[in-house]
Amino acid sequence: MAADGARRVALLFLLLCGAAARHASAGDGALLNGNFEYPPNKSQMNGTTVTGEHAIPYWRITGLVEYIDSGKSLGPGDMVLPVPEGVHALRLGNGASVRQQLSVTRGAYYSVTFSASRTCAQAEWLNLSVVPIGGDEAATPASDIPIQTVYSASGWDSYAWAFRAERGIVTFIIHHGDEGVDDPACGPIVDAVAIKKLRAPGDTGGGGGNLLRNGDFEEGPYIIPGTACGVLVPPMDEDDVSPLPGWMVMSYSKVAKYVDAAHYAVPGGARAVELVVGSEVALVQEVDTVPGAACRMEFSVGDARDGCVACAPELPPMRVVAAATGAQGTVTVEYPSRGTGGHMRGKLEFTAQGNRTRVVLYSSGYHTMADTTGTLCGPVVDDVSLVCACKPPPTRRLLRR
């Protein structure tokens, strides 16, 4: 068949360019044609619409998918949008999807990072899933990722998602749901899809008696080298695999921003989390504790040196609230941020009440960059520890007669 022939020629082209695998073998970095720079054959396009299911090398598409050229207007009245990686990207219309088979290590954890941009002024969601080979796609749970708030001045945001591989070969799917969307041509544009193998949450212990996993946030999703905007970690349910091992991002539709030392001031190590949407998002972790143990939670609060100014009296300082089940109240750390970096430590002492203790961190205020873009920003948190010591049993008084 002509389409098959075209596909073979496209594949040969890719093979000659050194991209040798039939399906992507998941090492850290971009998926095969993850930036969509290998174009579909013109014979499988009608205008910008991709008509062939297998037209885009290494990907399979369903539904209305458009192949976007950087700098070209998307339609009357639309903005011209430069794409984050290379010069091409895909727009997923209502109910459209794009998928790729991945070779992974069975039982291992992976995070996927992708860039997305909203194109219509309406709430958009992407549904991400992995279907194990031979699995039933309809029965595979998917995760909703809200593409609603724009967090960067460019209009493009990088998002992270994670999964545990149930099989050695899985199909990774980005699906644009068609719920509540009026215009079928509306839909997010996606680009720069990359993957990273994560350490299992249990292998990210802090040492030194720290009960928290990944308290220093050193383990986390792939940050595309050169991107200065970090990676957004969307909200998740308790049973979801977190791209930030150990931690859960709790929110209805807002995110936490994962940042790197290459582009931001981080209090310790190479990574930290910037809390960019006030109290709408909390970082949560639950650990085993011994009831009655004396616990001390410590954490760093600082500013990311990203021009996020929160300096009294004109602008209230950044405030990070720490809470724990069993604690009498919360502790708030105030950080008067000049947007130039720096950090301080906060401490919350309490007695563990149950055999599980949940620690929570959130920012209680909203901040925007000092530039005129109105970009959301906030305090960075890092190096969170929870150390609990069992109190010696109360000394028994000798009963007198």
Per CB under 6 A, residues contacting ligand NAG are 2, 6, 9-10, 41, 43, 46, 125, 127, 141-142, 144, 177, 179, 354-355
Nearer to ligand NAG, 71 or 291 (CB): 291
Nearer to ligand NAG, 182 or 314 (CB): 182
Which of 228, 371, 230 minimizes the C-alpha distance to 309?
371
Distance in Å, CB of 54 to ligand NAG, minimum: 11
Amino acid sitting at position 229: C
Q: Are 327 and 342 in contact (CB under 8 A)?
A: no
Distance in Å, CB of 208 to ligand NAG, minimum: 24
Q: Please tell me whether the peptide bond between 336 and the residue prior to it is cis, using omega within 30 degrees of 0.
A: no
Nearer to ligand NAG, 164 or 263 (CB): 164
Distance in Å, CB of 39 to ligand NAG, minimum: 9
Buried b (16+ CB within 10 A) or exposed e, 270-306: ebbbbbbbbebbbbbbebebeeebebebbbbbbbbbb
Distance in Å, CB of 171 to ligand NAG, minimum: 14
Nearer to ligand NAG, 48 or 279 (CB): 48
Report the distance separating Cα 137 and Cα 311, nearest Å.
Answer: 51
Distance in Å, CB of 188 to ligand NAG, minimum: 11
Tell me the residue number closest to ligand NAG, measured at CB.
177
The DSSP secondary structure of 368-384, one letter per residue, reads: EBSSTT--EE--EEEEE
Residues contacting 379, CB < 8 A, separation 6+? 274, 275, 301, 302, 303, 318, 319, 320, 335, 337, 363
The DSSP secondary structure of 299-350, one letter per residue, reads: EEEE--SSSB-B-TTTSPPEEEEEEETT-SS-EEEEE-B-SS--EEEEEEEE
Nearer to ligand NAG, 41 or 113 (CB): 41
Structure tokens at 130: 């992995």
The CA-CA-CA angle for residues 67, 72, 76, to 5°, reads 100
Q: How many CB atoms lie within 10 A of CB 334?
A: 18
Regarding beta strands 256-260 and 231-233, do their DSSP bridges make them parallel or antiparallel, or are they unpaired? antiparallel
Phi, psi of 12 (to 5 degrees): -60, -45
Nearer to ligand NAG, 2 or 153 (CB): 2
Distance in Å, CB of 134 to ligand NAG, minimum: 18
Distance in Å, CB of 266 to ligand NAG, minimum: 33
Q: In 178-281, which ranges are E strands?
A: 189-198, 205-207, 210-213, 231-233, 248-250, 256-260, 271-274
Distance in Å, CB of 288 to ligand NAG, minimum: 7
Distance in Å, CB of 270 to ligand NAG, minimum: 33
Structure tokens at 360: 């929570």
Nearer to ligand NAG, 27 or 291 (CB): 291
Nearer to ligand NAG, 355 or 372 (CB): 355
Distance in Å, CB of 303 to ligand NAG, minimum: 35
Nearer to ligand NAG, 179 or 183 (CB): 179
Which of 233, 52, 37, 241 minimizes the C-alpha distance to 130?
241
Nearer to ligand NAG, 177 or 243 (CB): 177
